[in-house]
Amino acid sequence: AQTVTQSQPEMSVQEAETVTLSCTYDTSESDYYLFWYKQPPSRQMILVIRQEAYKQQNATENRFSVNFQKAAKSFSLKISDSQLGDAAMYFCAYRSAMIKAAGNKLTFGGGTRVLVKP
Amino acid sequence: DTGVSQDPRHKITKRGQNVTFRCDPISEHNRLYWYRQTLGQGPEFLTYFQNEAQLEKSRLLSDRFSAERPKGSFSTLEIQRTEQGDSAMYLCASSQHRDGGDTEAFFGQGTRLTVV
């Protein structure tokens, strides 16, 4: 079974600064997807960024970028130019790409709370 | 398209009562997932449907839990004889499964259950 670990329960960042969230995972599969989801207080979870394991290039979405290290099974998220609206819980998640994988369900880490100071 | 909607948003019930939650996925999505999220934790997979067929259930889904998706559209999750340990946020998500893979999963706002 796959596991996802987020070792930072909470991170604080000054507005306009950069913060990096850590995520490690364990899997025996070679093909999979990794995601970062954002969950603002009392609002639904939304996808921030995704990475296909077969791609060496790190994904980027505007101010959000990842550092994907497949051999180390590490998948960190960098938030640049942090804004007050970035304050939320951030979850790292894994999804198998195997065709027979059960429904392509997501396996989540425990989350990191990001606080943005004005 | 209004996204994934869940009803109710909040539910307080007494221990031993039955509760039912509803999820309406994005209309063209054929896959629907239920997750449970306890305070301070990440969501955990409970079960999923492809159209009306329930294809997998987690070991977390005890005999007191049942889920249905009768016409391949909305889904219900029922918990019988609720226990305090059932208190959690119940999240629904949907995605579109195609031969080439799945689209991203879209989540609802969840139903927060409190068992007193």
pLDDT tens per residue across span A4-49: 999 999 999 999 999 999 999 999 988 899 999 999 987 889 999 9
pLDDT at B35: 97
Residues A7-38 as b or e (16 or more Cβ within 10 Å = b):
ebeebebeeeeebebbbbbebeeeebbbbbbb
Minimum Cα–Cα distance from A4: chain B residue: B42
Q: Hunting for tokens 């927060």 — which residue is that?
A: B112
Minimum Cα–Cα distance from B54: chain A residue: A103
Neighbours of B15 (CB within 10 A): 13
Give percent of chain A with pLDDT exceeding 70: 96
What's the CA gap between B4 and B108, in Å, rounded?
A: 5
Given an 8 Å threshold on Cβ–Cβ distance, is B109 in contact with A43? yes
Q: Which two tokens stand for residue A50?
A: 């995704």
Q: What is the mean pLDDT of residues B34-49?
A: 94
Given an 8 Å threshold on Cβ–Cβ distance, is A103 in contact with B50? yes
Given an 8 Å threshold on Cβ–Cβ distance, is B42 in contact with A45? no
Q: A35-39, B50-54, B84-88: which has the minimum mean pLDDT?
A: B50-54
